Structure 1
Amino acid sequence: MADLLQEEWVEQLENDDNAFILDVRTPEEANQGQIPESTTLNIYLGQEFLEELKQLDKSKNYYVYCRSGQRSRQACAIMNSIGIPNAYNLMGGMLEWKGDII
């Protein structure tokens, strides 16, 4: 897992042809705006969240975010623990996001 500042996260993402953007907020939070091309998977679903993570392609590079960067940091650690080696946390999350949202 790597904690990346927004500039690092965006630059790495833009140069990654194997990227997958993962939003681990609740559906209600995601409805307020998401980073384009992201997929929402609510970390608060507990075991269901873990089961969904296990279905992910372990060869992808995951760019993970939440509201503040705390839940996404936890999600990255969980992902690493189940064999997903490349998980990148967006420090500051959506609270500090300066890019596009949809």
Structure 2
Amino acid sequence: MSILDFLFKKSTDSDAIKIIDAEAYKKAISRDKVQLVDVRTPREFRSGHINNAKNIDFFQGASFNDAFSKMNKTQPVYLYCQSGNRSQKAARKLVKMGFTQIYDLKGGYRAWNA
């Protein structure tokens, strides 16, 4: 990280959120049982998803919050969406909810299938 990045870092960014590439993501989720969440819509999820992922639609505010409130905040959460945009927004929400280890798939599901 450059000094300029450090000085002008957005206040919504957090050290709790790590963006990792598809190769690192695959290794991480294959190790143990992990909290793997697809934040796309149910329709997108049905069109294809990563094995063992739970679908929690980012656009369903109350349901989204409720589903994550039942998850373990001290364990890592692995998020993805279609391209990486929604999962970043979801990650920032999770930080506010108290999650401390969030891993986001760089490039989203598109990168997974590339």
- Point out where structure 1 has 5 or more consecutive residues left out of the alignment: none
Q: Which amino acid aligns with 2:47?
A: Q
How far apart, in 1, do the equivalents of 2:113 and 2:59 lie? 25
- CA drift at 1:6: 0.8
How many residue pairs align between the two structures? 98
Matched to 1:7, the amino acid is E
- Structure 1 stretches of 4+ with a deviation exceeding 4 A read none
Aligned residue for 2:49, secondary structure, equals: coil
Compute the displacement of 1:18 (Å).
Answer: 5.2
Cα distance between partner residues in 2 of 1:18 and 1:83: 21
Compute the TM-score of the two structures, normalised by the length of structure 1.
0.86
SS of match in other structure, 2:19: strand
CA contact (8 A) 1:18 1:60 kept: no
Aligned 1:69-80 pairs, distance under 5 A: 69-80=84-95
Larger Rg: 2
The corresponding residue for 1:65 is 80
What fraction of aligned residue pairs are identical, expressed as a percent? 28
Quote how far apart the aligned CAs of 1:80 are: 1.3
- Which AA in structure 2 matches 1:76? A
CA distance in 1, matches of 2:66, 2:95: 14
Partner of 1:8: 24
TM-score, normalised to structure 2's length?
A: 0.78
**Per-residue deviation, residues 48-101 of structure 1 (Å, max 9, x unmatched):** 2122211211122111011001111111111111111111000111112138xx
2:103 partner letter: Y
Is 1:96 aligned with 2:96?
no
The answer for unaligned runs of 5 or more in structure 2 is 1-16
